[in-house]
Amino acid sequence: MIGRKDFCASGQILMTDLSCLAYVLEEWTVVDYLKKYLFHMVIVSLTMSAILVFFIVPLTILFFIYLTNILLLIYQRNGEVKADPLSDVWDSARKTIASFWDIYARIWHGYELHGVENLPEGPGILVYYHGAIPVDYLYFLSRLFLWKKRLCLSVADHFVFRLPGLKLLLEVTGVMPGTREECLTALKNGHLVSISPGGVREALFSDESYQLMWGNRKGFAQVALDAKVPIIPMYTQNVREGYRMFKERRFFRQLYESTRLPFTPPYGGLPVKFRTYIGEPIPYDPNITTEELAEKTKTAVQALISKHQTIPGSIWKALLERFDKRRKSD
């Protein structure tokens, strides 16, 4: 009787008999190695793919932001523009940038903006909830400029100004550190000024429960009283379902509190439905205290969240809302 080894060696391989082929493969060390570690290789490959999917959209947004700054530099050089970055000379560049981000918002998040009629014609302070990545706020700025040709100045955390290569973009879009004097000057000049009292802390450590993390911050309320302007609450539905942070860890919280730098990377970028709601303004009242106004504003933002957001947030529901043609009521 011819054994499997002799049979295969004789070259008499039958098409219906796969035993020879299996034997030949078993003789290859590399196949044995692959058989032994194939499961581990599949797990590693799937893990790497998941990581890529989770982080590719946030990285893409960062890439587009830097690309926007490069386009502004080209516009400045070709046109030899030396005017004040907040002047109307930059409006054509702002329109181009706003159009790009608005198209991105429509395609990726089906973005909607409601309550623009609640914005005052004159100055005011917009107070909003800060998502893991405030891309929803970028969408709001873009659509506001396209609809009303109006620039809303933004108060940003100090770490934003440490990022290299973004100086011109920050200047042209009206992003500022937000000292009391800067805010009062902007309001005096008739601008809208926006601020998120929760800031980076809220971005990093809030979650799908949409908890406001304002602490004892009430400077915005004092500025509103000093400038005698209204405060307008604002919130974007599903912003935490689109982009999330990893669950809070004591180490990262302590690291942030000691350095004021966001070391925890955001992930996600799922094409969930985004709707930004602008609430009714809180009018200037000379008889209200700073503490009372800050608390009243917090209550107004929380009311928008309670009215328009499923809590805890659901990624699946947020995704399905992309296919819901009925507009959620204001």
Q: Which residues are annotated as catalytic? A: 130
Do the beta carbons of residue 113 and residue 140 sit within 8 Å?
A: yes
| DSSP label at residue 249 | -
* Gyration radius (Cα) of the chain, Å: 27
* 161-168 long-range contacts, CB within 8 A, separation 24+: 165/66, 165/69, 166/65, 166/66, 166/69, 168/69, 168/72, 168/73, 168/76, 168/85
- CA angle 91/156/219 to nearest 5° reads 120
Do the beta carbons of residue 301 and residue 277 sit within 8 Å?
A: no
Angle subtended by helix axes 135-148 and 91-109, to nearest 10: 120
Local structure of 239: helix, strand or coil: helix
Give the Cα separation of 1 and 7 in Å (integer): 9
Local structure of 309: helix, strand or coil: coil
Structure tokens at 290: 């700073």
